[in-house]
């Protein structure tokens, strides 16, 4: 049987299941502190499919009452950003008047979250905050609306805990760097 993706190898493990669990607990605590008392008008909107594992764990850690929904967006082909972001699935619930926290797996160029934020403004969400499990350090600062960041990482391609490369490796319980055989240590 061939490997799921033969042109890449799993490299350094950056986050263990325990690391991920404590990141989720910290972000949940921040959200609880910020959204006390907003009741059922709080919605966690996960971005398919990469944020599924994070959304599921985060939702179970947040004590404030909330609903969950999903939105589809796609910008990557393999390890390359295509530059254009398409909304591939609309949320099922009406988000008008809701406090929405967009839950994403990783913030890279910011185009995906900008596109989703624009969608939510057009659908008249009451407030929009952005939450990303990971954020790649590309510039000196992240935008102010990226309110919750689980962990900052260097500009490397990572997989696991929902993050994929062409649909492979999402199911890993840890997060690892993806390397190309040509740059891997041959020993
Ligand atoms: P952005 O629109 O450039 O911010 O890209 C964000 C999207 O690209 C994420 O939702 C991921 O699906 C994908 N992506 C970016 N970097 C990585 C990575 O290192 N591993 C897996 N997916 C990534
Ligand atoms: Mg994604």
Domain at 9-74+84-179: CATH code:
3.40.50.2020
Q: Is the pLDDT of residue 51 over 50?
A: yes
Taking the CA of residue 113 as centre, how many other CA atoms within 13 Å lie in the half-sphere pointing to its CB? Answer: 27
Global pTM value: 0.90
Domain ranges of the chain: 9-74+84-179
Instruction: Share the mean pLDDT of the chain.
Output: 90
Q: How far apart are CA 106 and CA 130, in angstroms?
A: 11
Ligand nearest to the CA of 52: 2
Annotation says 155 is catalytic: no
Ligand 1 atom at shortest distance from the alpha carbon of 111: 2
Q: Output 85 or 100, whichever has higher pLDDT.
A: 100
Question: What percent of the chain stands above pLDDT 70?
Answer: 90
Q: What is the mean pLDDT of residues 23-45?
A: 94
Q: Output 29 or 40, whichever has higher pLDDT.
A: 29
Q: Is the pLDDT of residue 167 over 60?
A: yes
Q: Is the pLDDT of residue 127 over 70?
A: yes
Q: Is the pLDDT of residue 1 over 60?
A: no
Using CB atoms within 10 Å of the CB of residue 72, give its burial: 0 to 12 exposed, 13 to 18 middle, 19+ buried.
Answer: middle
For ligand 1, which residues put their CB under 6 angstroms from it? 47, 50, 75-76, 81, 85, 104-112, 157-159, 163
Q: What is the mean pLDDT of residues 62-84?
A: 84
Ligand nearest to the CA of 49: 2
């Amino acid at each position: 049987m061939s490997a799921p993706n033969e042109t890449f190898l799993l490299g350094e493990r950056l986050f263990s299941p325990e690391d991920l669990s404590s990141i989720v607990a910290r972000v949940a605590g921040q959200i609880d502190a910020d959204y006390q008392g907003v009741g059922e008008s709080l919605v966690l909107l996960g971005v398919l499919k990469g944020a599924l594992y994070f959304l599921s764990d985060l939702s179970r850690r947040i004590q404030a009452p909330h609903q969950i929904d999903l939105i589809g967006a796609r910008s990557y082909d393999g390890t390359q950003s295509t530059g254009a972001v398409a909304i591939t699935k609309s949320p099922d619930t009406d988000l008008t008047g809701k406090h929405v926290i967009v839950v994403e797996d990783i913030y890279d160029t910011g185009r995906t979250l900008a596109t989703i934020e624009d969608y939510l403004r057009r659908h008249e969400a009451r407030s929009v905050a952005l939450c990303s499990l990971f954020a790649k350090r590309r510039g000196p600062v992240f935008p102010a609306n990226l309110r919750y960041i689980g962990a900052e990482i260097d500009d490397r391609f990572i997989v696991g805990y929902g993050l994929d490369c062409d649909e492979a490796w999402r199911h890993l319980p840890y997060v690892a760097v993806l390397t190309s055989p040509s740059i891997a240590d041959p020993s």
